[in-house]
């Protein structure tokens, strides 16, 4: 397994004030997942999430063979070494994923916490790995990765995983979590921890492979080419601000419009507040999110129009997904969506400058 991150020192981001204006100020918030953490302590804190796997009866033989014979071995690349895991490991055994996170954070730094939708997405990834070979050997991109838990679990079967978020503090924490769990990962996987700000244009500024790195978590042209060919995208708990949702779908369009076979699996949690404008209790941001989607089953009945949504969505029945991660309470307000691009195709050209 290879982890690519760049830890060269860089100056603090000059965009901090602008970021707070868009995403919120210094008000502290806390995820319900952290209610059992030490009181009066904000972080960083390492929590252990127990994964209890059991093979469903309908798992296909190919997936079972891959999972049972997966061997993790020492592989030195930079500062990471991976231990070997014995073949024939009992899949019903539990194992722990260690995640460093803050217990509270400001709204711009909510990626330092673990949120319920991230754990539901983790269950979904684990279920896919057990029941099919769909995620085996894929190149994947996680958007708004936060602590990186979903990408870490995907890295047990994927070929390449790009773990992306915005801000050095969050990305440094992602790197720490990869290091904490290096013994659980696929020996041949490559993990890139990269900066991806949805408010910036895509593709991001890139450097040639041999050029010295002057900024943490910057991209090379080859990495951009690889991520644009990714077939699988993941996101969890990224819907809480309409401006952020607009930027998210703008980035999705640029990433997914080159190939209609790409698929995004996105988990979210509806959070209800009283709206003075509506004089009612509403789920903030949820209706705006839904405005970007048309029903996947109704695509053929739509007449092409400039105003029609460019994405097709299908809600996944999470009652059919076992809860493999034990340390959270799954509620009816958590959803997983399968999202595909259905608008006009665009070509993206990435050439060294």
- pLDDT given at position 70: 41
Say whether pLDDT at 98 is over 70: yes
- pLDDT given at position 241: 87
Residues 262-287: what's their mean pLDDT? Answer: 81
pTM for this entry: 0.80
Say whether pLDDT at 103 is over 90: no
- pLDDT given at position 304: 58
Fold held by 2-341 = Rossmann fold (3.40.50)
Cα distance between the two ends of the chain:
30
Say whether pLDDT at 284 is over 60: yes
Residues 246-265: what's their mean pLDDT? Answer: 95
Q: Residue 44 to residues 96, 104, 157, 176: CA-CA distances in angstroms?
A: 18, 9, 28, 11
Question: In angstroms, rounded to a whole number, what is the distance separating the alpha carbons of residues 187 and 180?
Answer: 15
Q: What is the pLDDT of residues 40-90, one digit of tens each?
A: 666 688 999 999 986 555 555 555 554 444 433 333 333 333 433 433 343
Question: In angstroms, rounded to a whole number, what is the distance separating the alpha carbons of residues 52 and 97?
Answer: 11
Q: What is the pLDDT of residues 127-143, one digit of tens each?
A: 999 999 999 999 999 99
Residues 35-43: what's their mean pLDDT? Answer: 67
């Amino acid at each position: 397994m290879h982890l690519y991150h760049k830890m060269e020192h860089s100056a603090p981001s000059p965009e901090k004030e602008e970021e707070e204006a868009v995403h919120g100020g210094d008000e502290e918030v806390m995820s319900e997942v952290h209610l059992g953490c030490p009181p009066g302590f904000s972080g960083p804190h390492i929590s252990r999430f127990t994964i209890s796997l059991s093979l469903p009866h309908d798992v296909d033989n190919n997936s079972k063979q891959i999972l049972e014979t997966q061997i993790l071995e020492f592989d030195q690349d930079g500062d990471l070494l991976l231990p070997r895991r014995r073949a024939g490991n009992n899949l019903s055994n539990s194992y722990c994923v260690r995640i460093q996170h803050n217990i509270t954070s400001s709204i711009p730094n909510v990626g330092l916490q673990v949120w319920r939708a991230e754990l539901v997405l983790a269950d979904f990834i684990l279920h896919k790995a057990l029941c099919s070979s769909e995620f085996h050997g894929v190149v994947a991109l996680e958007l708004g990765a936060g602590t990186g838990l979903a990408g870490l679990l995907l890295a047990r079967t994927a070929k390449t995983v790009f773990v992306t978020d915005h801000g050095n503090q969050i990305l440094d924490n992602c790197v720490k979590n990869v290091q904490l769990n290096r013994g659980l990962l696929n020996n041949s996987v490559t993990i890139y921890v990269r900066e991806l700000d949805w408010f910036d244009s895509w593709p991001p500024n890139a450097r040639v492979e041999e050029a010295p790195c002057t900024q943490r978590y910057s991209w090379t042209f080859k990495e951009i080419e690889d991520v644009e060919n990714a077939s699988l995208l993941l996101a969890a708990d990224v819907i809480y601000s309409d401006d952020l949702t607009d930027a998210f779908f703008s980035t999705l369009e640029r990433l997914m419009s080159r190939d209609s076979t790409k698929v995004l699996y996105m988990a979210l949690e509806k959070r209800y507040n009283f709206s003075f404008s509506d004089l009612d209790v509403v789920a903030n941001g949820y209706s705006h999110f839904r405005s970007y989607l048309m029903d996947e089953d109704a695509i053929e009945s739509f007449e092409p129009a400039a105003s029609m949504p460019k994405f097709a969505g299908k809600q996944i029945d999470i009652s059919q997904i076992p809860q493999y991660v034990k340390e959270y309470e799954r509620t009816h307000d958590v959803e997983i969506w399968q999202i595909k691009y259905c608008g006009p195709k665009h070509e993206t050209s990435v050439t060294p400058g």
